[in-house]
Structure 1
Amino acid sequence: MQTIPQSAVNKNSLAAIPLFILMAQFIMHSGALNGLFESARVLVGRIPGGTAHAAVGAGAVFASVSGSSTAAAATLAHTSTVKLIEQGYDRKLSAGVVAAAGTLAAMIPPSVLLVFYAITAETGVGPTLVAGFIPGLLVAASLIVAVAIIIKAREGAAPRGESSTWSEKLRSLKALLPILVLFVVVVGLVFLGITTATEAAAIGALGGLLLMIIRGKFTRQNMKEALSESVSSSVMILTIVLAAHVFGHFIVESGITPRIVEGISGLPIPPLAIVGVIALGYLVLGFFMDQLAIIALTVPVTLPVVEALGFDPIWFGIVVILLAEVGLITPPLGLNVFVVARASRMPLETVFAGSIPFVFAILAVGLLLFFFPQLVLFLPELM
C-alpha cells in the first residue's frame, strides 16, 4: 500500500486517458457534433431506413472522438431518437438502434476502454487502439444489417427513404470533415509509428481546442466545463487503475494465478474451448457490472491463463471488451438503455425490446472475431 498506488499511476502511457477525454470534451463543447446526425441522414437518407442507418453512422463518427459509450448514447438519443419517431420510424427500432450505436465508442479508437485494457494487461497502447478499428467497423456494419433485416421483417417499421441533391450531400460533408480529419491524424500517427498513443492524444486534445477556438466556442464557461469533466472522469478511471494494481499484486502474492493456470492447462479439452468458457463469463459479467470494473478485477486472473494457452493478449482484450459491451444494452444493468429511455422519455421495456435484435448482431461479430483472430491482429501486425 506504500509503493503500489504511486507506481500504478506514475506511468507516461496513462496520460493518454485524460488527454483523450479532454479531446472529446473540447470537441463536444465546440459544437462540431451538433450537425453530425443530420449530415449522416443527408448522405444515406435515400436508402430504405436511411435515417436509422444514419444514426449508426453518426454513432461511429461520434465514437471516434468520445471514447465513452454512455456519452455517445446520450448525445445520439437527444439528436436522433425523436427525429426518427417524427419521421415515422417504429419506436422500438428508433430507441434500440441508438442504444446499440452507443456501444461503438468502446471499440473504435481512440477508446478509453481500450487504453485502460492495454495498461491493465501491459500490452502496447498503440497496437491495442489500432486493433479495435476493424472490429469497430464490423460492429457498425452488423448494426446496419440488423436495421435492414428489421425493416424487411416488420412492416411499417420504417418509412421510405428521402433523397437529397448532390449539393446537399457536399454541404453535409462540411460537418463531418473536422471530426474525420482529427480521427485520421490521431489514429494515423499511432499506426505509422510517428508518435506514441500518449503523444497522439496530446495532438488530438490540441486539435479539439483549436476546433473550439475556430468555431467561436472558446469561452470561460466552456473551458471550465471541459476541464472539470475531464478531471472528474480521469480521477475516477485512475482510481480504478490504482485499486486494480493493488488487487493484482494481491493475486500474485497469493499464488492463485499459477494454480489456476496449472489446473486449467491440464483439462482434457481444447484450449479454444477453455477461452470460449472464459469469454462467456465476460458476457455474463457485462449484464451486472461496469466495463472498467470488469477489466480491472478479472484481467489479472484470466489473462495469464489465456497467454499460457497460447493466445494473443490483444485479441483476447478486443473479444472481452466486445462481449462486456453487450451488457450496456441488456437487462438488468443496460446503462445505455437507461440513458436513451431518459433522453427520449420512453418506457424502459420499449428500449430494451428494441435493443434485443442488435444484441444478436454484436454477438455475431464476437463469434467472427473469436474464430478469426486475424481480423483483430491484421492492423497491429502492420505497424
Structure 2
Amino acid sequence: MFEIAVVTILLFVALLAGSVWIGLSLFATGYLLLAIFKPNIPMDIFSSGVIWGSVIPTPLLSLPLFILMSEVLVAAGLGRSLFSGLAPWLGRLPGGLLHVNVVGSTLFAAVSGSSAATTAIVGKVSLPELQARGYDRKLAMGSLAGAGTLGFLIPPSIIMIIYGVVAEQSILELFVAGVIPGLCLAALYMAYIAGHQIATGSQPRQERATWGARLQGMRDIGPVAALIVAIMGSLYLGLASVTELAAIGVLGALVIAVVMGRFTFPAMVRAGRRAVRTSAMIGLIIIGAALLNSAFGFLGIPKAIASQIASLGLSPFVLIAVLLVFYALLGMFLDGTSIIVMTLPITLPLVTAAGYDPIWFGIFVVVAVEISQITPPIGFNLFVIQSQTGEGIGTIARAALPFFFLLLAFALLLAVFPQLALWLPGTLR
C-alpha cells in the first residue's frame, strides 16, 4: 500500500509539474496505476462503464446551465448594480462599505454558484471604490477573498451539484442545507469586519445616505433580489427540479440583462463561450477522477485507508478535525472539484460510519473546499484579486488569513452543531 501511495503522488505531481491539465493528470495517473500494479485488468472496461457513467447523471445537466447563468450576469455588469444598490444601506454600519464585499457576495452567490465568479464580479467594482474612499486596503482584499467563498456555500452551488452526483445524495436537500450555514458565515464575516474597524478606529467618515438614495439602491438590486426569491422559493417549495431551476435561472439572467439595458449580442456570445470552457474543464476533471477512483477501488486503497483510520479509534469529532486538516492541505494544491471527486469515495464511508449525515458532510466538505479558495499557492480567489489589484499573492494571502481562520472555526462549529445544516432540509422530509 505504501508503494502505491508513493507512486500515485509521484505520478500526479510530475504530471501537474509538466503543466498537464488536472483532468488529464487524474486520468493518466489512474491508468498508469492499473498498468503498473494490475496489468491483468483489461483497460477497455473503462471505455463505457466508468467514463460514460461519470458524466450521464441527470443532475449534471444543471451544471452548465448554472455556469451559463453566472456568466450572463457577469456580462450584464451586475457588480455595478450591487455596489450602488447596497452602499446607501451599509455605509453607516461599523465597517461601512466593507460590508458591501460580504453582502454583495452573498447576493451574487445566490445566483451564480461559483466562488471565483463571485469574487471577480464584486471585486471589480468594490475594490476601486473602497480604495478611493480611504478604506483599509488589506481588509478590503481579505474580506473580498473570504466573502467570495460564499459562492460555493449559498445555493445554487456548482460544488454541491458535484458532491450530490458523486455521493448520490439529493442536490435539492444539499441546496436547502446550505442556506443557514451560508447566512451564518456571512454574518460571521460582517461581525469580524465591524469588530476590526471599531478596534482600530480606521473607518473613513461616511455621509448619511438620503432615503431617495436608498430607494434608488433598492431599484438597482431589485431584479437580482427577484431572481434570488424565485430560485430559493422554488427550491424550498419543490416547484421545480434542480435542472429545471437552472434553466429558469438562465432565462431570468437574460431578462435581468435586458431590463438593465445591458444585453448585447457580442457580450452574450462571450458569456456562452466562457460557460462552455468552464463546463468542459469540470467535465474533464470528473472523467479523470472517475478513472482514478476506479483504479483505487481495484487496488483496494479506500478499504485499506478506512481500516487504518478505524484502527486508530478516533472519536467522531477528532475524525472530522483530522479530515479538515487533510482537506486544507489538499486545497493548497488542488481545486475544489478535484478534491471532492478524488476523496469522496474514501472519506464519505468514514464519516457515515462515525454517525454523521451525508447531507451534513456535503456542507462540511463545501466549507473545507472554500478554505482552498484562499489558500496559496493555487487559491483561485487570491489570483482573481491579484488580477484586479496587482498585489503579490503573498500580500493577498496574508490579508485573507483572518478569514482563513474564520472558515476553519466555522467548519468545526458545524461539527459541534450539525443542525445548522440539517434543520432546514429536515423540514422537507
3-state SS of paired residue (1:160):
coil
Is structure 2 residue 132 aligned with structure 1 residue 86?
A: yes
Q: Deviations over 1:243-269 (max 9, x none)?
A: 222223223333332333344334333
Q: Which of 344, 350, 356 in structure 1 is aligned with 2:395?
A: 350
Describe how 1:194-273 pairs up with structure 2 within 5 A.
194-273=239-318
Determine the structure 1 residue equivalent to 2:414: 369
Determine the structure 2 residue equivalent to 1:176: 221
Determine the structure 1 residue equivalent to 2:19: none
Note the C-alpha offset of 1:144. Answer: 0.6
2: CA distance, partners of 1:334 / 1:311: 28
Q: Deviations over 1:200-235 (max 9, x none)?
A: 111111111222233343332122112111111111
5+ long unaligned stretches in structure 2: 1-45
Determine the structure 2 residue equivalent to 1:336: 381
Describe how 1:254-333 pairs up with structure 2 within 5 A.
254-333=299-378
Is structure 2 residue 154 aligned with structure 1 residue 108?
A: yes
1: CA distance, partners of 2:412 / 2:191: 16
Going from structure 1 to structure 2, the CA distance change for 1:191 and 1:261 (only over 3 Å counts) comes to: same
Equivalent residues of 2:169, 2:359 under 8 A apart: yes
Note the C-alpha offset of 1:313. Answer: 1.2
The residue identity in structure 1 corresponding to 2:403 is F
3-state SS of paired residue (2:162):
helix
Q: Which of 91, 106, 109 in structure 2 is aligned with 1:63?
A: 109
Equivalent residues of 1:91, 1:350 under 8 A apart: no
The residue identity in structure 2 corresponding to 1:339 is V
Is structure 2 residue 165 aligned with structure 1 residue 119?
A: yes
Describe how 1:11-30 pairs up with structure 2 within 5 A.
11-30=57-76
Give runs of ≥4 in structure 1 deviating > 4 Å: none
Note the C-alpha offset of 1:162. Answer: 2.9
The residue identity in structure 1 corresponding to 2:236 is F
Q: Which moved more, 1:205-214 or 1:264-273?
A: 264-273
2: CA distance, partners of 1:353 / 1:272: 29
Give the TM-score taking structure 1 as reference length.
Answer: 0.94
Equivalent residues of 2:224, 2:256 under 8 A apart: no
Q: Which of 174, 178, 182 in structure 2 is aligned with 1:132?
A: 178
Determine the structure 1 residue equivalent to 2:235: 190
Equivalent residues of 2:111, 2:156 under 8 A apart: yes
Note the C-alpha offset of 1:91. Answer: 1.6
Give the TM-score taking structure 2 as reference length.
Answer: 0.85
Give the aligned length: 382
Q: Deviations over 1:151-185 (max 9, x none)?
A: 123243x2133321122111101121111211221
Going from structure 1 to structure 2, the CA distance change for 1:331 and 1:245 (only over 3 Å counts) comes to: closer
Describe how 1:26-41 pairs up with structure 2 within 5 A.
26-41=72-87
Q: Deviations over 1:72-117 (max 9, x none)?
A: 2222222011211211112211211112111110101111111111
The residue identity in structure 1 corresponding to 2:156 is P
Is structure 2 residue 89 aligned with structure 1 residue 43?
A: yes
Q: Which moved more, 1:158-167 or 1:138-147?
A: 158-167
2: CA distance, partners of 1:314 / 1:69: 20
3-state SS of paired residue (1:65):
coil
Determine the structure 1 residue equivalent to 2:144: 98
Equivalent residues of 1:186, 1:200 under 8 A apart: yes
Q: Which moved more, 1:234-243 or 1:209-218?
A: 209-218
Pairwise CA RMSD of aligned residues?
1.8
Going from structure 1 to structure 2, the CA distance change for 1:162 and 1:345 (only over 3 Å counts) comes to: farther
The residue identity in structure 1 corresponding to 2:328 is L
1: CA distance, partners of 2:200 / 2:326: 33
3-state SS of paired residue (1:89):
coil
2: CA distance, partners of 1:239 / 1:333: 19
5+ long unaligned stretches in structure 1: none
Determine the structure 1 residue equivalent to 2:18: none
2: CA distance, partners of 1:167 / 1:206: 31
Note the C-alpha offset of 1:55. Answer: 1.8
Note the C-alpha offset of 1:343. Answer: 0.4
1: CA distance, partners of 2:313 / 2:392: 48
Note the C-alpha offset of 1:364. Answer: 2.2
Is structure 2 residue 165 aligned with structure 1 residue 165?
A: no
2: CA distance, partners of 1:203 / 1:173: 23
2: CA distance, partners of 1:214 / 1:164: 26
1: CA distance, partners of 2:311 / 2:405: 33
Equivalent residues of 1:251, 1:300 under 8 A apart: no
Equivalent residues of 2:160, 2:174 under 8 A apart: yes
Q: Deviations over 1:20-56 (max 9, x none)?
A: 1111122222334422012111111112321001221
The residue identity in structure 2 corresponding to 1:51 is L
The residue identity in structure 2 corresponding to 1:325 is E
Going from structure 1 to structure 2, the CA distance change for 1:341 and 1:223 (only over 3 Å counts) comes to: closer
Note the C-alpha offset of 1:379. Answer: 1.3
Is structure 2 residue 216 aligned with structure 1 residue 154?
A: no
Determine the structure 2 residue equivalent to 1:73: 119
Identity %: 38
1: CA distance, partners of 2:147 / 2:426: 28
The residue identity in structure 2 corresponding to 1:240 is I
The residue identity in structure 2 corresponding to 1:369 is L
